[in-house]
Amino acid sequence: MKKEFSNTGINKLGAKIRKEYGDLKPETLQTLQEYRTSHKNSLSSIFNILLDIRKNVNRTSIVTYRIKRFESIIGKLIRYNKMNLSRMWDIGGCRIIFNNNDEVYKFKTEIAKKLKIRKEYDYITEPQENGYKSLHLFVESPIDNKVIEIQIRNQQDHNWATLVEISDLLFDSGLKEYSKDKKLLRFHLLLSKDGLTITEKKEIANTIKKYKYLEKLNSVFTRNYLNVRLQWLLIENEYRHKYFLIETSKNNVPMIEAFDNFKDAEVGYFKKFKSNDNANVVLTYLLKPTFDQISIAYSNYMLTMHSCIDDFTIIFESLIVESLKANKYIDFLKYFGQYQDISISKYLNIYKETEYTEKINQKLLLTLDKRLSEKIDKKIRKKEKEWKAQIKNSLKKSDSNLKRFREIFQKNYPRRKLQKFIIKQIVRYSAGKYGRKYQRLLNKN
């Protein structure tokens, strides 16, 4: 029987959680679980309305929903110790990712025609102090008047937000709630800006070097990518699955569990939380899930790829060109080296991926029911073909970007003999150094 919650009862639950913080009683946790899941029908109704509305804006936009995690609810109650739990309106939340802000605001206009907006926070027009940008709408569900949060972002702002969460996980920097690492806070604030000065780009490059940021990021992505991709290929064979439980940590490969119904998915989530309340787990819903879609929507949980690598590449390219123009040879050597590091990681991952797909069919079939092997073999071969096409496109894109930068580099190459000689020697030294590094990594893997 469905349990009904009054505002008084909800607020008493919030007070109880604060009182028992650090050692929640099983019955308190169970009541919180019941309250969380009481949002499911309201959330589904809003989600379906949003799917319908997006047809008028951008059919390819990513739309997901989730119920707020235990640790997020508890943490928010502790941080805001005067907040009533009944006023925590983001227990149930939907997220929509569009290409640009024009689509974001057009979508908001369409939402206002169909749903009652109780409150709005426009962090795009007025970003938060840390650089966060998104449009938050709190709407009333037409089926039971529960309030559901809708976060609407453009792709760039979504990428920034997920990178903040990745930094929090890998560097324990507390950027989202406590901002205890001021250097990384400043780093992400700069990355949120639409236009950067050369001085700001240098500051970003220095932070990357100080924290070994790219090295850490790439090691985690490289460790996870093929394993997670294999998990997803297995999941894709179960076409009914739309609920996904993703558990991640900085030291282990993310694990994905897929479910075809909400009840089983929530049971799995609750079980994981009870066994380890420090687990970083999210349960989400995707209507037509693909690997690329879930990797973009939850890159902070999948930990396999992120667009920041391309953003950093562009920053280093401009620093290299600037140092060339100013004849600053030490700067040129430094930034050219960091640029080469990014390139090595990209090509190494593509190489590993190419090699891995040659063995993927055999490995997958060994994990599946032999009686279904013929039927599933067809599916897997199709997916394998799609994967190889994606690898080919990745390589093509990387080669195209490299060609583009070479052309820019040549246009800014020094004309005087001495300067030309110095730059030539630096490039030769750097190419040799990073060529040997690439070979070592290749042999190692």
Asked if pLDDT for residue 10 goes beyond 50, the answer is yes
SS3 121: strand
Annotation: CATH topology of 7-189+215-302? Beta Polymerase; domain 2 (3.30.460)
DSSP strand pairing (243-248 vs 280-286)? antiparallel
Tell me what the mean pLDDT of segment 268-294 comes to: 85
- In DSSP terms, 71 is beta-bridged to none
Higher pLDDT, 112 or 310: 112
Residue with tokens 């997220």: 95
User: What pLDDT score does 27 carry?
Assistant: 95
Tell me what the mean pLDDT of segment 116-136 comes to: 96
101 CB burial (10 A radius; 0-12, 13-18, 19+): middle
Tell me what the mean pLDDT of segment 252-281 comes to: 88
Distance CA 36, CA 271 (A): 14
Asked if pLDDT for residue 1 goes beyond 50, the answer is no
Residue with tokens 């569990």: 257
Asked if pLDDT for residue 379 goes beyond 80, the answer is no
Q: How many of the other CB atoms lie within 10 Å of CB of 135?
A: 22
Distance CA 127, CA 121 (A): 10
Tell me what the mean pLDDT of segment 119-147 comes to: 95
Its sign, for the CA torsion 381, 383, 388, 392, is: positive
Torsion of CA 350, 356, 358, 362, to 10 degrees: -160
User: What pLDDT score does 363 carry?
Assistant: 54
pLDDT confidence bin for 243, thresholds 50/70/90: very high
Asked if pLDDT for residue 129 goes beyond 70, the answer is yes
Distance CA 401, CA 395 (A): 10
Paired tokens of 61: 């936009």
Paired tokens of 50: 């949003």
| Amino acid type, 287 | L
Q: In the chain, count of helices (H) and strands (E)? A: 16, 8
159-182 pLDDT tens trace: 999 999 999 999 988 887 656 789
Question: Which of 104, 108, 136, 106 is closest to 122 using CA atoms?
Answer: 136
- Supply the mean pLDDT for the chain: 87
Paired tokens of 284: 């989400």
DSSP string, 276-295: -TT-EEEEEEESS--HHHHH
Tell me what the mean pLDDT of segment 173-199 comes to: 87
What are the residues whose beta carbons fall under 8 Å from the beta carbon of 400, sequence distance 6 or more? none
SS3 240: coil
The b-or-e profile of 330-342 (16+ CB within 10 A means b, else e) is ebbbbbbbbbbbb
User: Which element (helix H / strand E) includes 61?
Assistant: none
